Amino acid sequence: MKSFQQSTSSGVEPALPAAPASLARRLYERVSSVGSAAQASVPGAYAWAATVAPAAWSRGSGALAKAAALLALVALAAGWAGERRWGGRFRPASLWGFVLASALTWSVAPMGLAPLRIDAAHGLAGMLGWALFALALAAPSLDGRSQSELVVDAEPLVPRRRLARGDAPYLVGAAAIAASMQLVGWRVAVAERALLVRFVALAAGLAVIDAASTIALARHARRVTRAPRIRLRAAMAAVVLLGILALTGLLFVLRG
């Protein structure tokens, strides 16, 4: 800010001290200079290598599976090249080409994704790759060019307010619980049931993260001084339902 005021008041552009560009900074600038499709192609290639390629080149897979897998890779690379030429309009074509060609690979090589042939670590790696690919495509791309040249890196900005402390244990704990839910049910033989288990695990993990973040955020809202008894009464319906479920479970156990 000081440098900006000096330059505008005197009319003379002062020589800004050149900040030493670190390796991380240069890497960030290089990554941000490419488009979002190009940034997403890295986790996309990882997801392809973890889930599509093993299915296409598994025993018994035909030429169509291999061709579809190669087509998926070409669609991913075309997203990189097409975004440079036609901008963001080409991104959906690349995305759908990649996803549909991957789906075609899994369809014509069904044994490639059979749950018995996927171990937990392999499955988690594939899930992580596709999640990162979706996140990289959906999130706004890194943009290093929007940074003003008048901003002096050496002067830290003053925060408007301090972030509330104590939220991290809530979110880290909930994320750990949600991640641990993904470790269950990797030995299911039937493909439909294996997918159902994965879907339920994902939904349950999201529910736990949502509940933990809601409780953490409620601590920062303006508190009303209420007796714990009154606060407990606010959740009375759910607590009663929980009691009924506990009684039902007890009856089932007693009946054997």
Partner 1 sequence: MIQLPDALAISLVVGAAAAFVLGEMALADAEDLRAIYWLAVGAVCVTAAVQMGRSGART
- Cβ–Cβ contacts within 10 Å for residue 128, how many? 15
Under rule CB under 8 A, residue 161 binds partner 1: no
Under rule CB under 8 A, residue 109 binds partner 1: no
CB of 109 to partner 1, least distance (A): 24
Retrieve residue 242's tokens: 């929980």
Report which DSSP code applies to 73.
H
Q: Of residues 191, 235, 247, 250, which one binds partner 1 by CB under 8 A?
A: 235
Q: Which range touches partner 1 (CB under 8 A), out of 27-35, 86-94, 96-104, 217-225? A: 217-225
C-beta separation of 164 from 221 below 8 A: no
Under rule CB under 8 A, residue 197 binds partner 1: yes
Q: How far apart are the first and last CA of the chain?
A: 75
Q: Which range touches partner 1 (CB under 8 A), out of 9-17, 29-37, 74-82, 211-219? A: 211-219
Under rule CB under 8 A, residue 165 binds partner 1: no
Under rule CB under 8 A, residue 224 binds partner 1: yes
CB of 177 to partner 1, least distance (A): 4
CB of 107 to partner 1, least distance (A): 24
Retrieve residue 46's tokens: 């990882």
Give the Å distances, CA to CA, from 195 to 50, 51, 98, 187, 191. Answer: 17, 15, 21, 12, 6
- Cβ–Cβ contacts within 10 Å for residue 186, how many? 18
Rounded CA separation 94/107 (Å)? 20
Q: Which range touches partner 1 (CB under 8 A), out of 34-42, 75-83, 96-104, 231-239? A: 231-239
Rounded CA separation 186/122 (Å)? 10
Binding site for partner 1 (CB under 8 A): 174, 177, 180-181, 184-185, 187-188, 193, 196-197, 200-201, 204, 207-208, 210-212, 214-215, 218-219, 221-224, 226, 228, 230-232, 234-235, 238-239, 241-242, 245-246, 248-249, 252
